[in-house]
Chain A
Amino acid sequence: MTITSIAELVETASSHDLTIGALVRKLEAEETGLSISQLDEKMKKRLEVMRDSVARGLQGMHSKSGLTGGDALRMAEALSRGTLINAESLNSAMAYALAVAEVNAAMGRIVAAPTAGSCGILPGVLLSVGEILDASDASLIEALFTAGAVGAVVARSSTLAGAAAGCQAECGTAAAMAAAAVAQLAEGSPHQCANAVAFAFKGLLGLVCDPVAGLVEVPCIKRNAICVAVALAAANMALAGIESVIPADEVIETMGLVGRELPASLRETALGGLAATPTGKKLATELLSHE
Chain B
Amino acid sequence: MSIFDIIGPIMIGPSSSHTAGAVRLGLAARAIIGGQVSRADITLHGSFAETYRGHGTDIALVAGLLGMSPDDERIPNAMEIAREQGLRIAFHTGDLGDVHPNTAQIELVSPKGTKRTVRGASVGGGSILVTKIDQFTVDFTGENHALVVSYKDQPGIIAKITSLLAAENVNIAAMRVSREAKHSKALAIIELDQPAPQKSIAKISQVPSVDTVIVLPPHIHGRGGMIHDNNIHCRTR
Contact = CB atoms under 8 A, between A and B. Distances in A.
Contacts of A216: 13-15, 55
B73 interface: yes
B56 interface: yes
Interface string B33-61: 00000000000000100110111100100
A46 B3 contact: no
B13 A107 contact: yes
B7 A46 contact: yes
Contacts of A49: 10
Given A116-B19, A291-B53, A106 B7 contact: no
A3 B56 CA distance: 37
Categorize the interface residue count of chain B. 20 to 34
A112 B71 CA distance: 11
Contacts of B155: none
Greatest chain A CB density within 10 A among B1, B13, B16, B55 is at: B13
A164 to B, nearest CB: 9
A249 B124 CA distance: 25
Categorize the interface residue count of chain A. 35 or more
A282 interface: no
B3 A64 contact: no
A107 B76 contact: yes
Nearest to A154: B6
B11 interface: yes
B75 interface: yes
Contacts of B4: 42-43, 46, 148
Contact of A149 (B3, B12, B55): B3
Given A64-B56, A215-B54, A111 B3 contact: no
Interface in B105-151: 124-126
B2 A28 contact: yes
A151 B16 CA distance: 16
A108 interface: yes
Nearest to A65: B54
B8 A112 contact: yes
Interface of A: 1, 24-25, 28, 31-32, 42-43, 45-46, 49, 63-65, 103-117, 119, 122, 144-145, 147-149, 151-152, 155-156, 160-161, 163, 177, 213-217, 287, 290-291
21 contacts: A28-B2, A32-B2, A103-B13, A104-B13, A104-B14, A111-B9, A111-B11, A113-B7, A115-B16, A148-B4, A148-B6, A152-B1, A152-B3, A152-B5, A155-B1, A160-B6, A163-B124, A215-B51, A215-B54, A216-B55, A287-B54
